[in-house]
Amino acid sequence: MFIHDLIRQGAPDAMAIIDHQRRFTYKDFQDAVDACRNRLYAAGVRQGDRVGIFSRNSAEFVFAFMGTASLGAIAVPINFQLSSREIAYIVKDAGIETILTYQPLNLADAMAQLRCDLKVAQIDIRNIGKPKTGIAEAPKLSDYFSEDNPCEIIYTSGTTGNPKGAVLSHRNIVANTQQMSFMGCKAEHNVLCVLPMYHVFGLTCSVFYPFSVGATVAILDSFTPKETIATIRDEKITDLYIVPSICSLLTKLASEEDMKTVRLVVSGGTTLPLKIQQDFIGKFGVDICEGYGLSETSPVVTMNPPQKAKVGSCGPIVPGLKWKLIDDAGNEVAPGEPGELVVKGDNVMLGYWNLPDVTHDAMRGGWFHTGDVARVDDEGYIYIVDRIKDMIISMGENIYPREVEELIYQFPGVYEAAVVGIEDKLRGQAGACFYSVHEGADVNVRALKKFLQANLALYKIPREFHQLDKLPRTTTGKIAKKDILKQFQEGKIK
């Protein structure tokens, strides 16, 4: 199955998309994708071309993606919050000659700085799903076109250097929607898409997966608590795919009545602190099925099954995906021991765009190396210990920040926390804790240290504690540890 075949999985008169006051049946959806397809072909888009999609969440974003894929072209979703320089880099790297955009982009200066002479056509995405007179019907895809052809390039933010483009095939994404089938989404369910569609978690889980079973997707262009809660209540949302920060705000601001139709809540994008999870479950009585994945895996690798979720775990490996935990030498670790999680399966990317050496390193031995340290319990549930690159090595001892952060979240008054490695002349590295507090709360650092000392080995206790008004976050809701460390190193955090 190709990704664009998902638009035909629902009954023609069934509701496919709700976008604020606009409603599209599956028949409307199909007609809009056909109109987009024809307009793109008339504009010169052909098989293998890369087409940028620069837009907030909208029905048109979905039309653009499906129309692009149906031509055998490759969709490149672009974060609308990026600077002109960052957008220009992606345009140059992917060789994008057509961008569907919700606002005019001025990339001339940035492209000149990159010494890029690509001529980029900008098409207004807002009308892309409407038929246009005088445009002929685009030809069908060649019979030789394969499900293993690429259909999407997701640019990962990366921690250093320029972003890398993870190339996903039709098979990768469709396989991942099938691997999620145990989540129980059905045609009668209403799924909220509030996470950005330029991010693979939002697009695959809250858009493609529901379409694969003929369900309805309600689209919000961004997260605002009032509008999100109203949409959940008024559209009788059953399935939520969110990040921990949204979980926390829903717990604080939504009522039990607002959430009464919700049957499934999935948290991903970043690790879910236990305190946030426990507070949400305690108020609404709905388990949070924490999952784990990466752009390179389309994205889902693990997911807690509904009614069988384990608090603190990100769930078992999804069906059809092979995995193992390995040490630095590539050997499988002993049962119960932590090791790097490596995987292989139909949802694993084709590789990184135009980066054969980086691809070879990431896929060495035929396994995709996630860069994440995990452990597994006797029931097959995975627990992510931490990122390998986030690990702090102090006097030869490994410190996993997540373990420390989980305890800090349990201390009264703490709202959010991040532990990062900083230079230490004696130990090489030491931990530094950056945290914010709940409104009106006060955290006594001496008491916090004593609490940690009672629960952790002494070498794991952060050397420094810094209270901030709020912690910076990435566009996908993760705490931006890189930004925190940079501000600290520049002396902006005292």
Rounded to an integer, the average pLDDT of 38-62 is 97
Provide the mean pLDDT of the chain.
Answer: 93
Q: What is the structure's pLDDT at 266?
A: 96
Q: Is residue 324's pLDDT more than 80? A: yes
Q: Higher-confidence residue: 11 or 159?
A: 11
Could you give the CA distance from residue 71 to residue 412 in angstroms, rounded to a whole number? 55
Mean pLDDT value of segment 96-110: 93
In sequence order, the 6+-apart residues with CB closer than 8 A to the CB of 468 are: 434, 435, 436, 493
Round to whole Å and give the CA distance between 303 and 294: 13
Read off the pLDDT of each residue in 54-61 and give the average, rounded to a whole number. 97
Record the tokens describing residue 460, joined without a space. 């794991």
SS3 state at 206? helix
The 10s digit of each residue's pLDDT in 309-318 is 998 899 999 9
Residue 460 has pLDDT above 80, yes or no: yes
The C-alpha atoms of residue 60 and residue 324 are separated, in whole angstroms, by 40
Where are the CATH 3.30.300.30 domain residues in the chain? 392-489
Q: What does DSSP say about strands 150-156 and 164-169: parallel, antiparallel, or unpaired?
A: antiparallel
Q: How many CB atoms lie within 10 A of CB 33?
A: 24
Is the pLDDT reported for residue 304 higher than 70?
Answer: yes
pLDDT at 160: 43
The pLDDT tens digits of the residues spanning 246-264 come to 998 999 999 999 999 999 9
Span(s) in the chain for CATH 3.40.50.12780: 1-388
The radius of gyration computed from the CA coordinates of the chain, to the nearest angstrom, equals 23
Is the pLDDT at 119 greater than 60? The verdict is yes
- pLDDT tens-digit profile of 366-387? 999 999 999 999 999 999 887 7
pTM score of the predicted model: 0.85
Binned at pLDDT 50, 70 and 90, residue 159 comes out as very low
pLDDT in tens, 387-422: 777 888 787 677 888 889 989 999 999 999 999 999
8 A C-beta contact, residue 216 and residue 189: yes
Q: pLDDT confidence of 144, banded at 50, 70, 90?
A: very high
pLDDT reading at 113 higher than 80 = yes
Give yes or no for residue 87 having a pLDDT over 50.
yes
In the chain, pLDDT over 70 holds for what percent of residues? Answer: 98
Please check the confidence at residue 438 and state whether its pLDDT lies above 50. yes
Specify the residue for token string 């959430």: 259
Homologous superfamily assigned to 392-489: ANL, C-terminal domain (3.30.300.30)
**List of residues 6+ apart from 406 with CB closer than 8 A:** 273, 274
Position 100 pLDDT exceeds 60: yes
| pLDDT band at residue 161 under the 50/70/90 scheme | low
More confident: 457 or 305: 305
Residue 85 has pLDDT above 90, yes or no: no
Q: What is the 3-state secondary structure (H, E, C) of 89-108?
A: HHHHHHCCCEEEECCCCCCH
* CATH of segment(s) 1-388: 3.40.50.12780
Share of residues in the chain with pLDDT > 90 (%):
79
461 contacts: CB under 8 Å, gap ≥ 6: 404, 431, 449, 452, 453
